[in-house]
Every structure is written in structure tokens, then in C-alpha cells.
A = this chain, B = another copy of it.
């Protein structure tokens, strides 16, 4: 009884609640520790600059399915999702460590594929692989990546800096990865029922690529720098726009108003959403794994921001007398709720 209650309570806490519960009594004793748990990356002192540290654990059967995930893509993605957290702090990633636990079913050829993907991502983003650990696993594959990056102390973008009337912006487009995943899962189900089925995924290369091989957007950060725009708050969209903007709001002590018709959706995402009878806005709000940047900025930058291709102003920050709301296409305001990906409740 007690055990199942405890398991239930882990589930009901969610990942962020659990991390908070487990780490709340830890004190910091080193003055080099500037920011720890609670943002996209930790910040530690590093000479005149700061070092950013972030880590992610990817578990087979939870984060990836080897039935439809090419190992080369998996290696690439395991790097990208970590670099995303460094970029989300406005940093430049420079080093990663990669640890893997592999079962006996993994061949050396398969491992070579995984590392070819890791190498491709390192080369694409100018990052050095500096260490790691390899070990056997009794069952599935686990990949643990830690990324280190650098940032000037006065250019760090925390989640907590959003101010009233600041613009809410997002890069690229949202919801594609979620719909790509639905497509892969549907075809997997069909294949499992009848192994003679040919998977029908050819019409949606963009959505498939977004889930299997996402990319980071450092070029946008460069454009912001060139335009002298320093985001007041920033994070990456990994759990869905809704959940993520609420993080910025709660950590900044503000609220927000987001306009549904401003949320960028790729045409292919719309088509695929139609096929699944899903609202593409729901995919954007609650889907996750987009690895786009979500940031707030002073409204004086509105014209410059609007002129940068790949940046979309989707709303603005309000005070906490208002609830965080989504203004639907029909003008009705609905409360924004965190329905992001909680794998403890899956």
C-alpha cells in the first residue's frame, strides 16, 4: 500500500516537482556556483565569463524507440537536445560528454552509427566531445549527455527576467515534432499488427525530421546580438509552448497573453494534424520536443524583432492580476494550462 502510494506521489509530482522535492535541502558552499537547479542550465563562474552546464538522460522505451529511430539520428538528437539548453541561456556550447549503457543486442556497427550521429552534431555546432563512459546494460540503451557552454555574465538569459509588457517571441515553428511522433507511432502499430504493411510516412518528411533529428537555432541568437536585442528571459521549447511559457511566467513573477493565430505552425504540420483530426494549436501548446527558443524582449524592439525571419511575436507579458491566457482565433480567452509532456504520468 505504502509503496504504491509513493509511486503515485512521484507521478503526481511531475518531473519538476520531483526534482524540487529531491534537491530542496541541498545547500551550496562554493562561491563558483552561481545558479543551480531551476533553469535550462546551471551557471558557474569561469574567469571573466560564465560556464553553463546541462545534462539529459535518454532512455530506450521512454525517450526513443529503436524500432523507428535510426541510431545515427539518435546520436545526433542526443547532442542537439543538450545544446538546446545552452543556447536557451544565450550561451555558446563548446564541450560535451557522452555516456552510454548498451545491451548485448547492440553491435559495434550500430554503435558506430550512433557515434557518427554524435560526430555530425558536434561538427555542425562546433562542439568537442571531451569524455564519457561506456558500460553494459541488462536491458535497453541509455544515453547520458552533459553539455558545457560559455556566456558573458551580463548576457545570460534566465527564465526569470520577463517583465510586464515585454513581448513573447518564439523561433521557427511548433507542433511538428509531436505530429511526426504520432505518425511514427501509428505506422509502428500497423506494422506490429501486420508486418507486411508498408509504412506510410513519405508525405511528411519535415515532421518526421523534427522528431528524429531536430536542429538548434544559434543563427537566431546571432541575429539578436547583431540587432542589439538581449532577451529578458529565455528557455527552449521542450515540453510544449504552454508548459514552457508558464515556467517563464512563474519564475519571473508575471503572467502572459498569447494569441493563437500568432503561433507559428508549419504547413506540413497543419496537413498532418488534419489527417489525425487534431488541432495543430494543441500540438504546439502541449506537444513538446520542438527545441525552438521561447523568449521575451522589451517592446522597444518590436519592429526589429518582426523584421527577423524565423522570429514570431506571439503575445506579451502581463501582470499577475491576470491569469496566463490564450486568446483563441474567435477572440475568446482561455486559461493556459501546463499540459506538457510528463513522462512520470504517461
Chain A interface residues (CB < 8 Å from chain B): 2-3, 6-7, 9-10, 13, 15, 18-19, 21-23, 25-26, 28-30, 32-33, 35-37, 41-42, 44, 46-49, 51, 53-57, 59-63, 94-95, 97, 99-101, 104-112, 115, 119, 122, 126-140, 142, 144, 146, 148, 150, 343-344, 346
Contacts and interface: CB of A to CB of B under 8 A. Distances in A.
A302 to B, nearest CB: 34
Contact of A129 (B23, B54, B129): B23
B36 A111 contact: no
Contacts of A139: 138-140
A242 to B, nearest CB: 21
Given A55-B132, A135-B62, A26 B122 contact: yes
A128 B26 contact: yes
A287 to B, nearest CB: 18
Nearest to A116: B25
Given A107-B2, A130-B42, A137-B59, A142 B101 contact: yes
30 contacts: A2-B107, A3-B105, A7-B106, A10-B106, A19-B134, A22-B112, A26-B122, A26-B129, A28-B128, A29-B128, A30-B127, A30-B128, A33-B128, A37-B129, A37-B130, A47-B49, A53-B130, A53-B131, A53-B148, A54-B131, A55-B144, A56-B99, A57-B101, A57-B135, A57-B142, A62-B136, A63-B135, A99-B144, A137-B142, A142-B144
Nearest to A28: B128
A50 to B, nearest CB: 10
Contacts of A128: 26, 28-30, 33, 36
Contacts of A63: 135
Given A44-B95, A44-B148, A131-B41, A142 B26 contact: no
Contacts of A55: 97, 99, 131-133, 144, 146
Leading 3 A-B pairs by shortest Cβ distance: A47-B47, A6-B107, A42-B130
A61 B119 CA distance: 30
A130 B29 CA distance: 11
Contacts of A135: 15, 57, 59, 62-63, 343
Nearest to A56: B133
Contact of A126 (B30, B95, B134): B30
A62 B100 CA distance: 13
Given A36-B129, A135-B343, 5 more contacts: A28-B128, A62-B137, A101-B142, A136-B343, A137-B142
Nearest to A34: B130
A151 to B, nearest CB: 13
Given A44-B148, A95-B53, A140-B139, A134 B26 contact: no
A48 to B, nearest CB: 7
Given A6-B109, A107-B6, A57 B22 contact: no
A65 to B, nearest CB: 11
A14 to B, nearest CB: 10
B138 A61 contact: yes
Nearest to A150: B32
A7 B53 contact: no
A36 to B, nearest CB: 4
A297 B292 CA distance: 52
Nearest to A16: B134
